[in-house]
Each structure stands twice: as C-alpha cells, then as structure tokens.
Structure 1
Amino acid sequence: MSSTPAGSPRPSPRTVTPTVETVLAFVNTRADGSGREELFADGDAFAAWLAAHEEFGVGREVVATDADAAVARELRDALVTVLLAHSGDEESLGEPLSRAERHLRRVGALYPLAPVVTAGGVELTSPQAGVERVFGAVLAAVTTFAQSGDWGRVKACRNPPCHFGFLDRTRNGAGLYCSTGCGSQVSMRRHRQRQRRDGGAPSEA
C-alpha cells in the first residue's frame, strides 16, 4: 500500500489513488447481468486473477484453493454492501450493512496489519504471505484511504444488478451510478414503472 509522506499535500477527493485502485480491483470481480463474469468462482480462477494483479504482492505462482476463493467472495461482498451504503442504497442499509460490518471486523482480526514507519511516512502492510497477504492488502488499502476522510466517495453503483465499484468524483459527492448509462437505465425503469402505475387501469369507452 502507498505510504503517507510527512508534510505531503492531501490528494483531491477526485484523484484515483493506488489505494482506491486496489479496493476497486478487488470488488469489481463479481458477475452481473451485463456480461461480467465471476472472477472468484473457484481456487483456479482466483489464482489466475491474482497472477494478473501484481499489486497484491503474491507473485505469479500463488496457489489458491476453493476455500480461499470463498473467503475472497465473502470479503468482497461485505465490502460491496458497505459501498452500496455509501450510495444510499436502501436495501443495503439496516441488517445487511450490520452483517457486513460484523464480517469485516472478523476479517480484520484474522488478517491483522503491521505499520511500517520511516522518516518519509507510515505505510500499512500485511505481514502475512500467500493468499492471506491479499486479504491484508485489501484491508490496508481500505484503512489508508478511509483515514483520508473520503471513504464515503468509494461507492457501488445503485443500478441493480450492476453494483460496480467506483470513485465518486462529483464536486458534491452525490454520485450514485458508475456511468451515465446506468443512470439512464434507472431513469428509464422508473419512467416505465410510473407509466404502468398511472395507465394500468384500462379506460372505459
């Protein structure tokens, strides 16, 4: 994870930092209705994904089991629930969010982080190796960015079933969708629902 050099300027909330890239790379591995495939389907798929993402620091020869892939899916899905809450998605609030936060606390206890202090700043890293290092790297990225005060800008698209993770770069932090296309789909869906509701009863001659 990137360090925080002493006296360095605070990045703009609209800057996609390496920590944000790490979080988004991990959460944007879900299958959805638009053609994206599940990248953590099993151990082999998870290992192939890790081999293509050197930023997690486990090397190209990492071995991942089906159980590892299941842990990755559970961590990812808990993070997606939190990111949906950042977008104000009502279905993710309440018990789903509480359940996700409890899971993230358990994961944090299983994969603790270690601070590396230098004259230039402090960096959170995972002291573990192999697949466990990946989960620690994700938690380190979340922690580092959350401490900037802009954690709420990392969101998941409110257009179901997209839920693609993105950094909200709007000036007021009010973005709800990962793209204008998803925003248009939601608007069109609501328009059709209003038409069905308003014109559902046939008029009598």
Structure 2
Amino acid sequence: MSSAAAGTPELGPRTVPPTVETVLGFVNTRADGSGRRELFEDGDAFAAWLAERDEFGGDTVVTDADAAVARELRDALVTVLLAHSGDEETLGEPLQRAERHLRRVGSLYPLATVVTAGGVELASPQAGVPRVFGTLLAAVTTFAQSSDWGRIKACRNPPCHFGFFDRTRNGAGLYCSTGCGSQVSMRKHRQRQRQGSGTPAEA
C-alpha cells in the first residue's frame, strides 16, 4: 500500500464542529510556498482577516505587534497539530516549546464560564485583540475536551502543513488532500531509487 493510500483512508460520516472551523480558520493563514499568502503579515492584513470573521467580533483595531503575536500563537498551534499527525520533526523540543508558549498565552487571555439554562460555554471577557485570542483559546479548549481532539491535524507534507479535521473512520489521515499524500509518496519513491542506484540526493 502506498503512503498516499495509508494517509488518506476512507472518510467517515463525521462533521466539522464550529469550534474546529474557528481553529482551522486561524491556523490556515500562513504562507506555504505553494500559492497561499501570509494573512497575518502586519496589522493591516490581520485587521482585514478579522473583518471577515464574525466569530472573532468582526472589525478590530490591531497593530503590527498584534499580528506578530497572532503569528506566534498560530505557529504554536500548527506544531501541536503536526504532532497529532505524528510528524517526527515536530516531536520533542519543538512540541515542548509550542506547549510552553501556549501555556503562557493561556495565562494572558483567561476565559470566563458562561452558564445558561441551555448549557455552559467558555467565552473571553476581554475586548479588542485580547478577545480575539481568547475566543480562539475558548474554541480550542471546548473541542479539546472531546475524544476527537487528536483529529485536528496539520498536513505532514512540507511545506503545506495545512490544518484539517481528520474525518477518516480510524483517525489515520496524515495529509490534507490526496494530492499532498501523492507528493510525499513520490518523494519517498524517488529517494529509494537514488539510494538504490547510489545517486546522491538532490539539494
């Protein structure tokens, strides 16, 4: 069985919860070298992105420093999602650094418990940019309490690392698409060919 086939098994009936859409919307804002551009490049770019996202409160005044904080938070989350995909380069110190950063962020943007007759939810009691980051953390925390937390993953095909919700029946998805799975499979095939022929690997 090819790597692509192993990484993209049959999809199950799972649907993507709103909390997952919030998390994926945030992490899938990075440039990847394949056409996707950086959406948190500076304050103006970050503000434009927020203006289109009602779950974060819409229009928000932000600075370049805020955009830098957003990039750091996003990259830490991507590292965690890569760990969910079993990415070997992420495990160890990179993951530990990301988890330490997320703990610091959690202390800076605390959440409030909102209790109603209809249920209980976490929400940010802050305003402005702190509310944006708090809303993201609330979505992460809410979904992480479910048994499906490990199904939010980042594609193992570098430099894609696109976040996705693994809807495969056995939770074995490794790539965001069959295209990425095929690219990884082809790279491994070519590497085996070079090793078998004694040809040096390409730079």
TM over 0.5: yes
For residues 13 and 66 of structure 1, do their structure 2 counterparts lie closer, same or farther at Cα, with a shift above 3 Å needed?
A: farther
Match of 1:188 among 186, 189, 197: 186
- Specify the code of the residue in structure 1 equivalent to 2:74: R
1:29 to 2:29 alignment: yes
SS of the residue corresponding to residue 169 of structure 2 reads coil
Distance across 2 between alignment mates of 1:140 and 1:80: 17
Distance across 2 between alignment mates of 1:164 and 1:111: 25
TM-score, with length taken from structure 1: 0.90
Match of 2:175 among 174, 177, 196: 177
Structure-to-structure mapping, 1:1-205, within 5 angstroms: 14-57=14-57, 59-60=58-59, 62-200=60-198
Distance across 1 between alignment mates of 2:171 and 2:14: 9
Between the two proteins, the alignment pairs up a number of residues equal to 189
SS of the residue corresponding to residue 49 of structure 1 reads helix
Distance across 2 between alignment mates of 1:53 and 1:120: 25
SS of the residue corresponding to residue 31 of structure 1 reads coil
Distance across 1 between alignment mates of 2:99 and 2:16: 24
- Specify the code of the residue in structure 2 equivalent to 1:47: A
Misfit runs of 4+, over 3 Å: none
SS of the residue corresponding to residue 91 of structure 1 reads coil
- Specify the code of the residue in structure 2 equivalent to 1:27: V
Once the 2 structures are TM-superposed, how far is the Cα of residue 200 of structure 1 from its aligned partner? 2.2
Largest Rg, 1 or 2 = 1
Structure 2: gaps of 5 or more residues: 1-11
- In 2, are the aligned partners of 1:14 and 1:167 still within 8 Å (CA)? no
- Specify the code of the residue in structure 2 equivalent to 1:143: T
TM-score, with length taken from structure 2: 0.91
Greater Cα shift, 12-21 or 64-73: 12-21
Distance across 2 between alignment mates of 1:135 and 1:14: 27
Once the 2 structures are TM-superposed, how far is the Cα of residue 13 of structure 1 from its aligned partner? 8.1
- In 2, are the aligned partners of 1:13 and 1:153 still within 8 Å (CA)? no
CA RMSD of aligned residues (A): 1.4
SS of the residue corresponding to residue 164 of structure 2 reads strand
Once the 2 structures are TM-superposed, how far is the Cα of residue 185 of structure 1 from its aligned partner? 0.3
- Specify the code of the residue in structure 2 equivalent to 1:49: W
Of structures 1 and 2, the one with the larger relative CO (CA 8 A, separation 6+) is 2
For residues 99 and 182 of structure 1, do their structure 2 counterparts lie closer, same or farther at Cα, with a shift above 3 Å needed?
A: same
